[in-house]
Every structure is written in C-alpha cells, then in structure tokens.
Amino acid sequence: MLSAILVAIIATMSTWWVSHVITRTWLYPLWAGFLVALAMGQPVEGMKAAAYIQLTYLGWITAGGTMPGNLMVAGVFGTALTLVSGADPSLAPTFAVPFSLLGILSFQAYMTINSIWIHKADKYALEGDLTKLRFMNYVPSGILSFILNGIPAFILVYYGGDVTTRALAAIPTSIITAFSVVGALMPALGIAMLLSYLSKKKIVGFFFAGYFLTVYLHLDTMAITIFAAIIGVLIYFFTTDKKTGVAE
C-alpha cells in the first residue's frame, strides 16, 4: 500500500515537472526507475531493470514539447511492472516499450488539457492577481498528472501486475512496431518546431550543413557542436568587420 502510494507520487511528478531542480532527472528511467525500486523495497533489482530500460533510450530527446515516446511512463511503469511480476531485470525493456508508446497518448492528453488552465491564468494576469496566477501554474496540472499517471501507477502496483502483463502481452507486435514508427517520427516535430523558430532564408543552409556533416562524416553531436561554435564565432568576427575594416 505504502509503496503503491509512493510509486503513484513518483509517476505523478515524473510528468508534472513541479520544478526541474528536482524533477529534471525524473524524466529518465535510470533515476525515476531507481526511485520506484526504492519505494518498492527492491533497490538493486529495480535499479538494474531501470538501467536496462535507460540503455534503450540513450538517444531519446524532447524538443519543442514533443517526444519520441513517453520516457517517464516507460521508466516508472516499466520498472514497477518488472518488480511486481518478478521478471528478470533484463526483460524490463519489453515491459517498458509498450508503456512508452501508449504514454505518448497520455502525454498528448496532458499537454492538451493543460491549455485550459492557461486561459484561466490569463484572466488573473489581467487583474494583476499574481497569487492566483501562481496557483494556476502549479495546482491543476499536478492533479491532472495524478489522474493520468499516478492512479494507473497505483493500480499497477497495488493490484499486482498479472493483468497488466497479460494486457501488454495481448498487444500484437505489429501494433508495437507501428507505435515505434510513430515514436521514431516524433522528434521530427520537435526539431521542425525549433527549425521554424530559427530559420531565416539566409542561414537555413546551416541546418543542412549540420545534417549532412553528420550523415556523411559520421560526426557525433559533440563534434558538430564544436564546429558550429567555431563557425559561429568566425562569422561573428568576420562580419563585424564590415563596418570597421579588416584588421582588429
């Protein structure tokens, strides 16, 4: 019972980012799953399950509010189900992946419903009522996350994983694969949103430069970041120049 409540809280907070000072790492299975492991009193087994899940998501990214799978749900639910069902930690990803994909839907719901509170907040802003505005930022979204994530987590842990395991097993592989494709496509949205903030005709070529340098030269992200920074600095100095002559 206690552990079910604790897991429900973890599940709630891992999506309701009350403050990234605390919750930023709760996005990642390694930490959120470890917390679940502690809550369920099986730290080592749970940690390993969490690590197995984590490893399959090292390339995961969220940009522009979108994500290629709900990593928070994957970490928390995947670890919990592994422990509840007593399965070997190395099987954790098998449990986690369907959650991650279904979780896209719940995240979608969360992101859509939250728009309601912001309209309320608009009203308080107009009135200059800062306290109520603050309330709008924190409370309704928390309750929403509890409903969407906390309650299911409670049920999963409290009523045992049998049903869930069977339910998951019932999902045909073709659906899992289909959701994986959706997940694989999802970063395109986040990246395209950043693109649409950034791209002016003049410089959009750099997007393609980054893309094809990565594709053809197999450079990793760090390398591209370094070269991008060098190029940025050089452009800065070489175009400043225009007004002041060539020499510094």
Partner 1 sequence: MADSQIENMNVQPKVKLTKRDLIKHWLLGYSSETCYNFERLQALGTANAMIPIIKKLYKTKAERAKAIQKYMVFFNTEPSYIGTVIHGIAASMEEQAANGVEITDEDINSVRTGLMGPMAGIGDTVSQGIVYPILAGISCSLALAGNIFGPIFFEVGYKVIMLSTGYSMYMLGYKKGKTAVLSFLKAGTLNRITEIFSVVGLMVIGSLAATRIGIVTPIEFSVGEVGINLQKVLDSLLPSMLPLAATLGVWKLISNRMSPTAIIAILFVVGIVASLLGILAPLAQ
Ligand X SMILES: OC[C@H]1O[C@H](O)[C@@H](O)[C@@H](O)[C@@H]1O
According to DSSP, residue 43 is labeled H
Residue whose CB is less far from its own copies, 175 or 223: 223
- The least distance separating partner 1 from the CB of residue 161, rounded to whole angstroms, comes to 22
Round to the nearest angstrom and report the end-to-end CA distance of the chain. 70
Q: How far is CA 30 from CA 55, 63, 188, 243, in A?
A: 9, 20, 25, 52
Distance CA 23, CA 151 (A): 19
- The least distance separating partner 1 from the CB of residue 179, rounded to whole angstroms, comes to 7
According to the binding rule CB under 8 A, does residue 166 interact with its own copies? no
Residue 201 contact partner, candidates partner 1, its own copies, ligand X, none, CB within 5 to 8 A by sort of partner: its own copies
According to the binding rule CB under 6 A, does residue 199 interact with ligand X? no
Residue 243 class from Cβ within 10 Å (0-12 exposed, 13-18 middle, 19+ buried)? exposed
209-238 residues in contact with its own copies (CB under 8 A) are 209, 212, 216-217, 219, 223, 226-227, 230-231, 233-235, 237-238
According to the binding rule CB under 8 A, does residue 127 interact with partner 1? yes
Residue reference for tokens 């986040």: 190
| Footprint of its own copies (CB under 8 A) | 200-203, 205-206, 208-209, 212, 216-217, 219, 223, 226-227, 230-231, 233-235, 237-239, 241-242, 246, 248
